Structure 1
Amino acid sequence: MKKLAALPLLCLLSSVAFSAPPLEKKELYKVGFAQSENNNPWRIAETNSFKDVAKECGWQLIVSDAASSASKQVSDVDSMIAQGVDVIFLPPREEKPLVPAVKKAKMRGIPVFLVDRKVDERIVKPGVDYVTFLGSDFVKQGERAAEQLAKLSGGKGKVIQLEGTTGATSSRDHIIGFNRVIDTYPEMTIVASQSGDYARDRGRKVMETLLQAHPDVSLVWAHNDEMALGAIRAIEAAGLVPGKDIIIGGKDGTRDGLQAILDGKLAFIVESTPKFGPLACKTMQRYANGEKIPTWIKTEDRLFDASNAAEHIADAF
């Protein structure tokens, strides 16, 4: 009889263990946003997007900056847990180091929403350890960039890929999608693929080195606009003409990137919006209302090129 009496409690504990923590409906929430870094236009725009919606969403917002350090980001999440936040929005810098932070938040009953990057899904499960992922289909972005380069080059050329942060799910998925499509074009070859850590100056330095090793490269795709702009500087310093001698594609949709399209130096940009604030607010409200949230809420990405860059530059970040 004791075993039968304990069964409902065991079932309840099992249900809690295999679902993300619930969120009570309140007028004011203490919300943590653990940013990975604020050293480029995309990240700054993302942080500002959360700040812009805080008041109307009823958030007492706590923002941290991990300064490009995964260990610092883990500490930031720990600090938010200690401060008793109701919710954490987390754009993880790298997929593996942030696993313990997500697990700890769940253990403390704090729902986590991943933003723009994921953690290792072999260990941490959406809908179980965290509520959902808000972000783009990075594999599709890579595929789209490769198709654009193939279209613009007639399916021929030697390619350099400037990768994002090593260990980030965005970088990994971009590589998967991009390489998969390039491999279908027999006369296109990726001669080098190296991380520029999403930074403009780092992208410039990497491109300078790769140009020396591969002076006959004709195509470049960078995992963000900042590295693409760095690559343009390196190409110009080598006495070559961006957009003519070497076709370059970017990803994000920054104002500087769109201006480079208008200047004829950048061929295209695959959009990746940083403006998650409104979507984060709406999704959190739905969750507090008891709605079932999909484990991935995809953002829709446009393609910018010479045909529409002028139309969108005023709204760019």
Structure 2
Amino acid sequence: MKKFYAYLIAIGMVASLAGCSGGAKEAPTTAAPATTAATEAETKAEETKEESKAETSAAAAETIAQSVDLSAALEGLPKDFGKGKKVGLAQMHYTNAFRIAETNSVLEAFEGAGFEVVWNEAKNDTATQISNVNDLLAQDIDYLLLPPKEEEGLVPALEAAKAAGVPVILLDRSANGTPGEDYVTAIRSNAEAEGEWCADWVIKNYPDKCNVVEIFGAPGSTTAMDRSKGFMATIKGHDNIVLLESQVGNNMRSEAQVCMENLIQAYGDEIDVVVTHSDEMTFGALQAIDGMGLVPGEDIDVLSIGDGSSAMLQEIIDGRVAACSECSPLLGPQALQVVAALEQGMEVDGLIWANDRFFTVDNAATELEKAGW
């Protein structure tokens, strides 16, 4: 039994817990039962198929589909082509490393091109973000950059920008509406693929049995829904992988810590893997695991479906986090390319993928050397 078992007894929470491996260990070797040649051939074919799928998934996880190349839009334009123009950023909040890095990326890219940038933050509240959009529109901005708090909830903001004739570029999430009509484009990570990458890791490292708990991001957000969708769709059909429970952490470290504490108290030694939807929530889960006397990476494997900060890469190197799907917040340069294209009447695709990767112990040290946040 893991030391958690003794820990629970010590505090009188439970009398006993069902034992279950809490780490990604090699499956024990057992003698194969007698079988016919046909059955052996079928089994071998199935194993080969699964190995091929795992190899394909691993290769695909190294990089996502390349984003639309708009770099040519900046060619021929003066370095300060934005002089005399104003860009507004309606940030959803400014309380974690991802949002701070995204905001700084926008400021650096646009101010470097001569734009005036005005911005505000909504303290993670949809109604406030809508109000903030209206405040920015009242300042006669030429372009609006918007990371939507919710997919449905930001429709009034899009309508207000459309009525004001201000082009909207969505950052890191999508919103309900039609690209090219309600907004220009969405620059975001392929969150569904991010979930698939982490699911592939679980399938590969837990061939026998795995109990998973999920800490979900922000309800109603495209990113959270797609991350969960990708993960769940990939493990579907793998009866050995069981989702014990999903709780909402709202992409907040403190809330995720409480979620993880609750999950450990409820399931204890049964948990093999925790999957969170952001680095911030992963850090909260780590704090909870540490606080409950467990060892991340030994008692419970930890996976982060986004974001891939330098701090998270270090956790992977240290063995406390197993893997992380990248969701880069450094979208300022791509947003600037979109604006440059619009300034010249060029066509812009309605969805632009960020160039994201999948981090494990195999590449974390190398990627840390060039991490931008």
Q: TM-score, normalised by structure 1?
A: 0.88
Q: 1:313 is matched with which residue?
A: 368
Matched, 1:243 2:279: no
CA spacing shift, 1:305–1:105, aligned 2, 3 Å: same
Query: 1:28: Cα distance to partner?
Result: 2.8
Query: 1:156: Cα distance to partner?
Result: 2.5
SS in structure 1 of the partner of residue 251 of structure 2: coil
Give the counterpart of 2:272 among 218, 224, 235: 218
Query: 1:66: Cα distance to partner?
Result: 0.7
Matches within 5 A, 1:131-210: 131-154=184-207, 156-210=209-263
Q: Contact 1:204/1:231 (CA < 8 Å) preserved in 2? A: yes
Q: TM-score, normalised by structure 2?
A: 0.75
Gaps of 5+ in 2: 1-80
Give the counterpart of 1:117 among 164, 173, 184: 173
* Aligned residues: CA RMSD: 1.3
Give the distance between the partners of 1:63 and 1:119, measured in 2 at CA: 19
Query: Quick one: which amino acid aligns to residue 90 of structure 1?
Result: L
Give the distance between the partners of 1:106 and 1:307, measured in 2 at CA: 46
Q: 2:104 is matched with which residue?
A: 48
Q: Which has the higher contact order (CA 8 A, sep 6+)?
A: 2
Query: Quick one: which amino acid aligns to residue 274 of structure 2?
Result: V
Query: 1:26: Cα distance to partner?
Result: 6.2
Give the counterpart of 2:351 among 263, 282, 296: 296
Q: Contact 1:160/1:193 (CA < 8 Å) preserved in 2? A: yes
SS in structure 2 of the partner of residue 214 of structure 1: helix
Q: 1:83 is matched with which residue?
A: 139
List, as ranges, runs of 4+ consecutive aligned residues in structure 1 with deviation greater than 3 Å: none
Give the counterpart of 1:104 among 160, 170, 177: 160
Give the counterpart of 1:279 among 329, 334, 353: 334
Q: 1:30 is matched with which residue?
A: 86
Give the counterpart of 1:126 among 169, 176, 179: 179
Q: Contact 2:82/2:113 (CA < 8 Å) preserved in 1? A: no
Query: 1:224: Cα distance to partner?
Result: 0.8
Query: Quick one: which amino acid aligns to residue 64 of structure 1?
Result: N
Larger Rg: 2
Query: 1:55: Cα distance to partner?
Result: 2.4
SS in structure 1 of the partner of residue 187 of structure 2: strand
Gaps of 5+ in 1: 1-24
Q: 1:12 is matched with which residue?
A: none
The percent of aligned pairs where both chains have the same amino acid is 36
Give the distance between the partners of 2:208 and 2:235, measured in 1 at CA: 9
Give the distance between the partners of 1:49 and 1:39, measured in 2 at CA: 16
SS in structure 1 of the partner of residue 93 of structure 2: coil
